[in-house]
Amino acid sequence: MVGGGGSGGGGGGVGGGLLENANPLIYERSGERPVTAGEEDEQVPDSIDAQSPFLHLTHLIRSINDPEHPLTLEELNVVEQVRVQVSDPESTVAVAFTPTIPHCSMATLIGLSIKVKLLRSLPQRFKMDVHITPGTHASEHAVNKQLADKERVAAALENTHLLEVVNQCLSARS
Amino acid sequence: MAAAVGAAAPPGALWGLVQDFVMGQQEAPASQVAADVKSGSYTILQVVEALGSSLENPEPRTRARGIQLLSQVLLQCYSLLLEKEVVHLILFYENRLKDHHLVIPSVLQGLRALSMCGSLPPGLAVSVLKAIFQEVHVQSLLQVDRHTVYSIITNFMRSREEGPFVEELFEVTSCYFPIDFTPPPNDPYGVQREDLILSLRAVLASTPRFAEFLLPLLIEKVDSEILSAKLDSLQTLNACCAVYGQKELKDFLPSLWASIRREVFQTASERVEAEGLAALHSLTACLSRSVLRADAEDLLDSFLSNILQDCRHHLCEPDMKLVWPSAKLLQAAAGASARACDHITSNVLPLLLEQFHKHSQSSQRRTILEMLLGFLKLQQKWSYEDKDEGPLSGFKDQLCSVIFMALADPSTQLQLVGIRTLTVLGSQPDLLSSGDLELAVGHLHRLSFLEEDSQSCRVAALEASGALATLYPEAFSNHLLPRLAKELRRGDSDVTREGGPTKCSRHLYCLQALSAVSTHPSIVKETLPLLLQHLGQANKEYMTTASSEVIAICQSLQQIAEKCQQNPESCWYFHQTAVPYLLALAVQASMPEKEPSFLGKVLLEDEVLTTLASVIGTATTHLSPELAAQSVTHIVPLFLDGNTSFLPENSFPSRFQPFQDCSSGQRRLVALLMAFVCSLPRNVEIPQLNQLMQELLKISCQHSCSFSSTAAAKCFAGLLNKLPAGQQLDEFLQLAMDTVEAGLGSGAFCNQAFTLLLWVTKALVLRYHPLSSCLTTRLMGLLSDPELGPAAADGFSLLMSDCTDVLTRAGHADVRIMFRQRFFTDNVPALVQGFHAAPQGVKPNYLKGLSHVLNRLPKPVLLPELPTLLSLLLEALSCPDSVVQLSTLNCLQPLLLEAPQVMSLHVDTLVTKFLNLSSSPSMAVRIAALQCMHALTRLPTPVLLPYKPQVIRALAKPLDDKKRLVRKEAVSARGEWFLLGSPGS
| Nearest residue to B973 (alpha-carbon basis) of B954, A113, B984, B903 | B954
| pLDDT the model gives residue B353 | 93
Q: Are B656 and B587 in contact (CB under 8 A)?
A: yes
Q: Using CB atoms, which residue from A120, A122, A165 is nearest to B984?
A: A165
Question: Which chain B residues are closer than 8 Å to A2 by Cβ?
Answer: 225
Give B174's Cβ-side CA count (13 Å radius): 21
- CA pair distance B685, B203, nearest whole angstrom: 63
For an interface test with A, which of B263, B920, B948, B960 has the most A Cβ atoms less than 10 Å from its Cβ?
A: B960
Question: Which chain B residues are closer than 8 Å to A124 by Cβ?
Answer: 956
For an interface test with B, which of A32, A42, A114 has the most B Cβ atoms less than 10 Å from its Cβ?
A: A42
Q: Which of residues 226-255 of B touch A (CB under 8 A)?
A: 226-227, 230
Read off the pLDDT of residues B205-261 as tens digits, 9 standing for 90 and up.
888 888 888 898 999 998 888 888 899 999 999 999 988 888 888 889 999 999 999
At residue B656's C-alpha, the angle toward residues B650 and B657, to 5°, is: 160
Measured in angstroms, the CA of A61 and the nearest CA of chain B are apart by: 11
Measured in angstroms, the CA of B647 and the nearest CA of chain A are apart by: 43
Scored b (16 or more CB within 10 A) or e, B589-610 reads bbbeeeeebebbebbbeeebbb
Write out residues in chain B with pLDDT < 50, as ranges: 1-9, 161, 495-500, 543
Beta-ladder partners of B168: none
| Nearest residue to B844 (alpha-carbon basis) of B827, B828, B831, B861 | B831
Measured in angstroms, the CA of B312 and the nearest CA of chain A are apart by: 20
A4/B267 Cβ within 8 A:
yes
- CA pair distance B204, B459, nearest whole angstrom: 51
Q: How many CB atoms lie within 10 A of CB B143?
A: 8
| pLDDT the model gives residue A68 | 66
A3/B266 Cβ within 8 A:
yes
B270 touching A (Cβ < 8 Å): no
Read off the pLDDT of residues A134-150 as tens digits, 9 standing for 90 and up.
988 888 898 899 888 88
- Is pLDDT of A31 > 60? no
Q: Are B420 and B373 in contact (CB under 8 A)?
A: yes
Measured in angstroms, the CA of A122 and the nearest CA of chain B are apart by: 6
Beta-ladder partners of A72: A65
User: Least CA distance to A160: which residue of chain B?
Assistant: B983
| 3-class SS letters over B724-752 | CCCHHHHHHHHHHHHHHHHHHHHCCCHHH
A7/B230 Cβ within 8 A:
yes
Read off the pLDDT of residues A9-27 as tens digits, 9 standing for 90 and up.
333 333 333 445 544 555 5
Q: Using CB atoms, which residue from B266, B923, B984 is nearest to A4?
A: B266
- CA pair distance B237, B343, nearest whole angstrom: 24
Peptide bond preceding B949: is omega within 30 degrees of 0, i.e. cis? no
| pLDDT the model gives residue A22 | 47
A123/B960 Cβ within 8 A:
yes
| pLDDT the model gives residue B930 | 95
B905 touching A (Cβ < 8 Å): no
Per the model's pLDDT, the better-predicted residue between B625 and A4 turns out to be: B625
Q: Are B936 and B944 in contact (CB under 8 A)?
A: yes
Per the model's pLDDT, the better-predicted residue between A113 and B169 turns out to be: A113
Region label for B186, one of left (φ > 0), alpha (ψ between -120 and 50) or beta (otherwise): left
For an interface test with A, which of B964, B968, B974, B977 has the most A Cβ atoms less than 10 Å from its Cβ?
A: B964
User: Least CA distance to A49: which residue of chain B?
Assistant: B964
| Nearest residue to B560 (alpha-carbon basis) of B584, B586, B534, B592 | B534
- CA pair distance B752, B703, nearest whole angstrom: 9
- The amino acid sitting at B964 is R
User: What radius of gyration, in Å, describes the C-alpha atoms of chain B?
Assistant: 39
Indicate the DSSP class of residue B10: -
Averaged pLDDT, A15-40: 54
| pLDDT the model gives residue B503 | 64
- Is pLDDT of A7 > 50? no
Residue B226 Cα distances to A10, B419, B543, angstroms: 12, 43, 76
User: Least CA distance to A75: which residue of chain B?
Assistant: B268
Measured in angstroms, the CA of A145 and the nearest CA of chain B are apart by: 26
- CA pair distance B758, B713, nearest whole angstrom: 9
Per the model's pLDDT, the better-predicted residue between B903 and A38 turns out to be: B903
**SS3 label, residue A85:** strand
A120/B975 Cβ within 8 A:
yes
Interface of A with B (CB under 8 A): 1-9, 23, 25-26, 35, 39-40, 42, 45-46, 48, 56, 59-60, 69-71, 117, 120-125, 160-161, 163-168, 170-171
Question: Which chain B residues are closer than 8 Å to A168 by Cβ?
Answer: 984-985
Q: Using CB atoms, which residue from B962, B965, B978 is nearest to A120?
A: B978
**What is B550-598 written as a DSSP string?**
HHHHHHHHHHHHHHHTT-HHHHHHHHHHHHHHHHHHHHHHHS--SS--H
For an interface test with B, which of A91, A120, A163 has the most B Cβ atoms less than 10 Å from its Cβ?
A: A120
B967/A56 Cβ within 8 A:
yes
| Ramachandran angles phi, psi of B206, nearest 5° | -80, -25
Residues in chain A: 174
User: What radius of gyration, in Å, describes the C-alpha atoms of chain A?
Assistant: 17
Q: Using CB atoms, which residue from A23, A26, A163 is nearest to B984?
A: A163
B964/A4 Cβ within 8 A:
no
Residue B505 Cα distances to B349, B416, B447, B544, B833, angstroms: 40, 21, 14, 17, 55
- The amino acid sitting at B775 is L
Measured in angstroms, the CA of B930 and the nearest CA of chain A are apart by: 14
Measured in angstroms, the CA of B964 and the nearest CA of chain A are apart by: 6
What are A24-28's contacts with CB under 8 Å, separation 24+?
A: A24/A69, A24/A71, A24/A76, A24/A100, A25/A76, A25/A77, A25/B321, A26/A71, A26/A75, A26/A76, A26/B268, A26/B321, A27/A74, A27/A75, A27/A76, A27/A77, A28/A75
A26/B965 Cβ within 8 A:
no
Beta-ladder partners of A84: A95
| Nearest residue to B765 (alpha-carbon basis) of B757, B773, B777, B755 | B773
| pLDDT the model gives residue A5 | 32
B982 touching A (Cβ < 8 Å): yes
| pLDDT the model gives residue B369 | 93
Read off the pLDDT of residues B806-821 as tens digits, 9 standing for 90 and up.
999 999 999 998 899 9
| pLDDT the model gives residue B40 | 84
